[in-house]
A and B are shown apart, each in its own frame.
Chain A
Amino acid sequence: MNFLIEAFKPACSISIKFSDGKTRKRVPIKRENGQTLLAPLFRNQENIAGKITIEPHQGKRIEHNGVKVELLGQIEMYLDRGNFYDFTSLVRELDVPGDIYERTTYPFEFSMVEMPYETYNGVNVRLRYVLKVTVSRNYGGSIIEYLNFLVHNYSPPPSINTSIKMEVGIEDCLHIEFEYNKSKYHLKDVIIGKIYYFLVKIKIKTMDIEIRRRESTVTGATNHVETETLAKFELMDGAPVRGESIPVRLFLSPYELTPTHRNINNKFSVKYYLNLVLVDEEGLRYFKQQQITIYRLPLQDT
């Protein structure tokens, strides 16, 4: 049996190391099995450079048709049988076909890599960046090694950031005005606002504000929308009367938010909504949803 195991064991181990791996910031990412691991973090148009070391086992000789490293930006749609779409694919040939007898190190560098999209882990879609090292072989299959890394892209504070203000109501029953101080929030922002009751004839029991994430994916001709409630925050307890103004102060930092993504590679979008929910004593819910934009300020990567 031993030789069999030997046979299926990769003939060599491949390790990928970034040249600034020790100083580069690492952030936790969730893997499919639920574990988190720290992955290095990059930004758009950064140079990605490092070393790839191939070490054959027990002095074996590896005959190959060439060694290459690819930088892939992939969108994986779960609903499309897990198909990948590579929106970025850069290749560096590391070696011409030949044999590797001993530990060999290849430096590599992708400079000014276009990585316009952020890493994203959603319900139906995943966007990831990966370095893929391939040792091509004619037989026994190619030896492949992956290394995931993250990309976060920062936005400057928006120049225009108007408040959201709106009057809504049901005639002769409920009439409120809500106001959120901004329409665009960064990830550690705090939503300040107030809900003003012009008219209230129903017995309200509670009022909550929810942060909802709407992830829409396009697979072929079909459009899929998945909505998650990421935060449920009680704003008010009990029935207000006319003229009451209820303050809103919601800190975003406790919640796992991402920036808003609009039409990423024509594949998916992630949008955020503030949902104001009023529940009356009979359990009826009245709500009004408002889209907000979430963006990432520099140095908000934890």
Chain B
Amino acid sequence: MLLIGAEDEEKWLAEGIAGVQHNAFYLHRALDSNNLRDALKYSAQMLSELRTSKLSPQKYYELYMRAFDELRILEMFFKDESKHGVSVVDLYELVQHAGNILPRLYLLCTVGSVYIKSKEAPAKELLQDLVEMCHGVQHPIRGLFLRSYLAQISRDKLIDIGSDYEGDADTVMDAVEFILENFTEMNKLWVRMQLEGPGRVREKREKERSALQELVGKNLHVLSQIEGVDLEIYKETVLPRVLEQVVNCKDDLSQYYLMDCIIQVFPDEYHLQTLEMLLAACPQVQPTVDIKTVLSRLMDRLSKYAASSADVLTEFLQVEAFTKLSNAIEKVIEVQVDMPAVGAITLYVSLLTFTLRVHPDRLDYVDQVLGACVKKLSSIPKLEDSRATKQVVALLSAPLEKYNDTVTALKISNYPRVMDHLDNGTNKVMAMVIIESIMKNNTCISTADKVEVLFELIKGLIKDLDSATDELDEEDFKDEQNSVAKLIHMLYNNEPEEMLKIICIVWKHTMAGGPKRLPFTVPSLVFSALRLVRQLQGQEGDIVGEEVPATPKKIFQLLSQMIEALSAVPSPELALRLYLQCAEAANGCDLEYVAYEFFTQVFVLYEEEIANSKAQVTAIHLIIGALQRMNVFSVENRDTLTHKTTGYSARLLKKPDQCRAVYACSHLFWVDGQDGIRDGERVLLCLKRALRIANAAQQMASIARDSSGPVTLFVEILNKYLYYFEKGNKQITAAAIQHLIELINTEMQGDSATSDAFLASTLRYIQFQKQRGGVMGAKFESIKL
């Protein structure tokens, strides 16, 4: 019977339907001719089709519905005594003569409903009798359908009875009592389905059972529709009885469904007022029941209810909803020892969501929830379950989302403790979430304490947590560290002292992060510190005290430490750039020796660390640029530095690089501005030197390629000539320019190929200047093209 094919089932169903239709035909004939005896006979025969054991619940339902429709017609017939001439009392006995129980009880229910409506006997007794007699059907499916028929057919009468009779509490209770009784029996039958047959078809049976759940739940639905069921009846009778059944049936499917059903069908207000009772049942259900979903839904409903109006909120406070829920959850977790961590955490997430929605002002509640979660987490080994960690992330993200202000979250003392229980990967994810939240809301973290807490939270990103067993994804790592770098800019306080503290703390933390992270975080920190320096510089006048902690000097000291740390990475190029930035800042602060010191560091780095020729080129240009802008240096110091720079420039590996660096060095001797250096002679020296190098490069190129190379270098130098010429450098003469142009032209003749656009533009520029007239035009007059 258990392994029947679907085909056979179809066949049996068809046979059953045919049987029903056949008998229904004769039934109709009997009804038309008002023949009660035949009507009873054929209806009993028709109902006998429902005695089959061969159909699955779905198919049985189809058959049942066919019979159900016919019974409605029969009920109409029974109602009309003039048609059959038998009083309903006698009819009630007559149908009980049927030998087979199932047809007998269907008929009894049908007549019973007419009987109740006639009010010839107390509804209470009839209902009691019907629900009692139905005990005869112990077969789960048949019994469920029979009782469901009873519930269905008595439904409108019950709702009438329960709602219409003015203020007659007893009558309401009769109806309630009946439904509860029927419900209890139905649930028992439903649970019993699980026990039938061998274990291997368990899954199939559970599916079949799920298909029937609504039959059971319908009873609760009817209860909720009875107006007479007020809060008191619900509290005193309905809920205790239903819960008793739920707890006692010890069946997980049933317990889950029914708990959910209770939550869904009865009004929120009732739930709130009976919260304790409802929650008390939760720890008592089977350990396999997915009680967390049930509780989540309850909390979900309640929080929506709370949101519905402000008046309701006071009720929540009155009944101490949070405390009750919190206790219940704790109990559930305590009782359900086998509940996986994910379950427990999901519960906390729900509770937290509830709290955030209902009591957004109660940060202590949030903390309490997290604290409970910490307690749970500390009792288990490190989380391995990915779903569980996901839930923890959800748990931790919820307050961030709610408060839109990460600072609030930082106040929650248990927050970092929860994070401690995450594995490294998740910890990082969570840290990212926090950072994103800060970025999104543009939250400024303005005190050192908060910064300390924050860095404690995101320490997964700041340093390696465990031995470096984790396989790091390079991309992810970069993203993470870039986020941290961004975060550093969000730490800001207008008060220099506090800001310095913040910087120190961040530095302390980043230093612990190891060489891999420094290249990402140090620049942010350096610029953050430099901002402070500039701020101090702006307020210079205010700094008077002797023991002022935040002085530029101090900060520069710190900066130097930071950058020095980078050299250990090693990341010399970056360090070099940062030193230069610092030097400029020091320049701004008029701290010559500090700036000099930075430059010294730059040169040390250049000599010792930067080996790559391309990097050298870049570095040299950076140095030149920075140095050119320096104005604090004494002549002597400046000479030393420029000298060094030009020296390095000339020693670059490739000729073109040398050439470019050298002509760039010319700017070191010619600074625009009021008291700029204008050493025309040395400028010319540089340019000439550059020209020599360019020549050499040209020759080397022609040897290598058997043709002269591009004249770009010459053109570039020509441009420098023109620049200084215009700036009024006396050493640069029109003749020299004229000479250079000729030189270029000669070189160009060798290269028959392309005309140089750069050159053309340059020449056009000269032409333009010539024609412009005025002082400049006169200057250019002597140049012949």
**Which one of B93, B96, B133, B138 contacts A237 once the chains associate, using CB atoms below 8 Å?**
B138
Asked whether any CB of chain A lies closer than 8 Å to the CB of B705, the reply is no
Kindly list chain A residues whose C-beta atoms are within 8 Å of the C-beta of B100. 234
A298 proximal to B (CB < 8 A): no
Stretch at the interface among B139-147, B404-412, B654-662: B139-147
Given contacts A232-B99, A233-B99, A251-B97, contact A238 B133 (CB under 8 A): no
Task: Please tell me if A100 contacts chain B, counting CB pairs below 8 Å.
Answer: no
B101 is an interface residue with CB less than 8 A from chain A: yes
A239 to chain B, nearest CB (A): 6
**Complex Cα–Cα for A232 and B101 (A):** 11
Interface residues of B in 181-205 (CB under 8 A from A): 188, 192, 196
B102 at the interface (CB under 8 A from A): yes
Contacts of B196 in A (CB 8 A): 239
Chain A residues within 8 Å of chain B by Cβ, number = 19
Whether, in the assembled complex, B136 has its beta carbon less than 8 Å from a beta carbon of chain A, the answer is: yes
Is B135 an interface residue when CB atoms closer than 8 A count as contact?
yes
Contact with B along A252-266 (1 / 0, CB 8 A): 011000000000000
Minimum distance in angstroms from A280 CB to a CB of chain B:
13
Report if A157 contacts B (CB, 8 A): no
For the complex, is B372 an interface residue (Cβ under 8 Å from A)? no
Specify the chain A residue showing the minimal Cβ separation from B105: A237
Query: Shortest Cβ distance from A289 into chain B, in angstroms?
Result: 19
- A204 to nearest B CB, angstroms? 8
Interface-forming stretch among A54-62, A79-87, A241-249? A241-249
CB distance from B208 to the nearest CB of A (A): 16
| CB of B137 closer than 8 Å to a CB of A | yes
Q: Is B132 an interface residue (CB 8 A)?
A: yes
Q: Is B682 on the interface with A (CB-CB < 8 A)? A: no
A116 to chain B, nearest CB (A): 33
The listed residue with most A CB atoms (<10 A of its CB), out of B51, B101, B104, B140, is B101
Q: Contact: B97 with A238, CB < 8 Å?
A: no
Q: Which residues of B contact A254 (CB under 8 A)?
A: 97
Residues on B with C-beta less than 8 A from A235 are 101, 136
Q: Is A240 an interface residue (CB 8 A)?
A: yes
B133 touches A241 (CB 8 A): no
- Are the C-beta atoms of B137 and A238 separated by less than 8 Å? yes
Contact of B96 among A238, A244, A251 (CB under 8 A): A251
Q: Are A249 and B97 in contact (CB under 8 A)?
A: no
Among A231, A238, A244, A254, chain B packs the most CB atoms within 10 A around the CB of A238
Residues of chain A with a CB closer than 8 A to B137's CB: 236-238
Give the nearest-CB partner of B143 in chain A.
A238
Min C-beta distance of A180 to chain B, whole Å: 16
| Shortest distance between the CB of B100 and any CB in chain A (Å) | 5
Q: Which of B51, B136, B140 has the most CB of A within 10 A?
A: B136
Q: What is the count of residue pairs linking A and B with beta-carbon distances less than 8 angstroms?
A: 53
Q: Are A244 and B136 in contact (CB under 8 A)?
A: no
Closest to B139 in A: A238
Asked if residues A237 and B135 are in contact (CB atoms below 8 Å), the reply is no
Smallest distance from the beta carbon of B207 to chain A beta carbons, Å?
21
* CA A241 to CA B93, docked complex, whole Å: 29
| Chain B residues whose CB sits within 8 angstroms of the CB of A247 once the complex forms | 132-133, 135-136
Q: Please measure, in the bound complex, the distance between the C-alpha atom of A233 and the C-alpha atom of B101, giving whole angstroms.
A: 8
Distance to closest chain B CB from A41 (angstroms): 25
Please report the C-alpha to C-alpha distance between residue A238 and residue B100 in the assembled complex, in whole angstroms: 13
CB interface residues, B 125-156, toward A, < 8 Å = 132-133, 135-140, 142-143
Query: Are the CB atoms of A237 and B142 closer together than 8 Å?
Result: yes
Determine if B51 and A237 form an interchain contact, defined as CB atoms under 8 angstroms apart: yes
* Contact flags B97-116 to A (C-beta < 8 A → 1, else 0): 10111101000000000000
Chain A positions within 8 Å of B133 at CB level = 247, 249
Complex CA gap A20/B93 in Å reads 36
Complex CA gap A231/B102 in Å reads 17
State A104–B93 Cα separation when bound (angstroms).
Answer: 53
* Structural contact, B99 and A237, CB atoms closer than 8 A: no
A236/B101 contact (C-beta < 8 A), A245-B135, A246-B135, A249-B133 known? yes
State how many angstroms separate the Cβ of B189 from the closest Cβ of chain A.
9
In the complex, residue of chain B having the shortest beta-carbon distance to the beta carbon of A255: B97
B93 and A251 form a contact (CB under 8 A): yes
Q: In the complex, are the beta carbons of B135 and A238 less than 8 A apart?
A: no
State the CA gap A249–B101 with chains docked (Å): 11
CB distance from B173 to the nearest CB of A (A): 23
Q: Check B192–A241 contact: CB distance below 8 A.
A: yes
Instruction: Render A203-236 as a binary contact track against B, CB cut-off 8 A, 1 for contact.
Output: 0000000000000000000000000000111111
Complex: chain B residue closest to A248, CB-CB = B136
Known: A237-B51, A237-B142. A246 touches B99 (CB 8 A): no
Q: Is the CB of B97 within 8 A of A237?
A: no
CB neighbours (8 Å) of A236 from chain B are: 101, 136-138
Shortest CB-to-CB span from A127 to chain B, Å, is 29
List chain B residues, Cβ under 8 A from A232: 99
A187 to B111 CA separation, bound complex (whole angstroms): 25
Give Cα A37 to B99, complex, Å: 28
CA A235 – CA B101 in complex, angstroms? 6
CB atoms of B96 and A239 under 8 A apart: no
Are A237 and B132 in contact, with the CB atoms below 8 A?
no
List chain A residues, Cβ under 8 A from B97: 251, 253-254
- Known A247-B133, A251-B93; contact A238-B138, beta-carbon cutoff 8 A: yes
Tell me the complex Cα distance, A194–B503, Å.
Answer: 87
Contact assessment for A246 and B138 in the assembled complex, using a CB-CB cutoff below 8 Å = yes
Closest-by-CB residue of A relative to B134 is A247
Interfacial chain B residues near A244, Cβ < 8 Å: 135, 138
B191 to A, closest residue via Cβ: A241
Q: Indicate if the CB atoms of A238 and B140 lie closer than 8 Å.
A: yes
In chain B between 5 and 37, which residues have their CB closer than 8 angstroms to a CB of chain A?
Answer: none
Contacts of A240 in B (CB 8 A): 138
The chain A residue with its CB closest to the CB of B102 is A237
Among B99, B132, B140, B143, point to the contact of A234 (Cβ < 8 A).
B99
Report whether B139 and A239 are in contact in the complex, using a CB–CB cutoff of 8 Å.
yes
Residue in B102, B133, B138, B143 whose Cβ sees the most chain A Cβ within 10 Å: B138
B141: nearest chain-A partner, CB-CB? A238
Which of A231, A236, A237, A240 gathers most chain B CB within 10 Å?
A237
Q: How far is the CB of B14 from chain A (nearest CB, A)?
A: 23
Q: Whole-angstrom distance from the CB of B547 to the nearest CB of chain A? A: 87
Provide the residues of chain A in CB contact with B101, threshold 8 Å.
234-237
Min CB gap B197→A, angstroms: 10
Determine the distance from Cα of A234 to Cα of B104 in the docked complex, in whole angstroms. Answer: 9
Q: In the complex, what distance in Å separates the CA atom of A253 from the CA atom of B94?
A: 10
Q: Which residues of A contact B140 (CB under 8 A)?
A: 238
**Minimal beta-carbon separation of B184 from chain A (angstroms):** 12
Contacts of B188 in A (CB 8 A): 241
Interface residues of A in 22-51 (CB under 8 A from B): none
Kindly provide the distance from the CB of A229 to the nearest chain B CB, expressed in whole angstroms. Answer: 12
- In the complex, A247→B51 CA distance in Å? 19
Residues of chain B within 8 A of A234, CB atoms compared: 99-101, 104, 136
A232 to B97, CA, bound (A): 11
Smallest distance from the beta carbon of A188 to chain B beta carbons, Å?
10
Alpha-carbon distance A236/B135, docked complex (angstroms): 8
Q: A235-B101, A237-B101, A241-B192 are in contact. Are A249 and B139 (CB under 8 A)?
A: no
Judging by beta carbons under 8 Å apart, are B136 and A246 in contact?
Answer: yes
Residues of B within 8 A of A (CB): 51, 93, 96-97, 99-102, 104, 132-133, 135-140, 142-143, 188, 192, 196
| Interface residues of A, Cβ cutoff 8 Å to B | 231-241, 244-247, 249, 251, 253-254
Further 15 A-B residue pairs, CB within 8 A, beyond A237-B136, A237-B138: A232-B99, A234-B99, A234-B101, A234-B104, A235-B101, A236-B137, A237-B101, A238-B138, A238-B143, A241-B138, A241-B188, A247-B135, A249-B133, A251-B93, A251-B96
Q: Name 27 A/B residue pairs within 8 A (Cβ), A-sorted.
A: A231-B99, A232-B99, A234-B99, A234-B100, A234-B104, A234-B136, A236-B101, A237-B51, A237-B102, A237-B137, A237-B139, A238-B137, A238-B142, A238-B143, A239-B138, A239-B139, A239-B196, A240-B138, A241-B138, A241-B192, A244-B135, A246-B135, A246-B138, A247-B133, A247-B135, A249-B133, A251-B97
The 4 A-B pairs at the shortest CB distance, nearest first, are namely: A238-B139, A238-B138, A234-B101, A240-B138
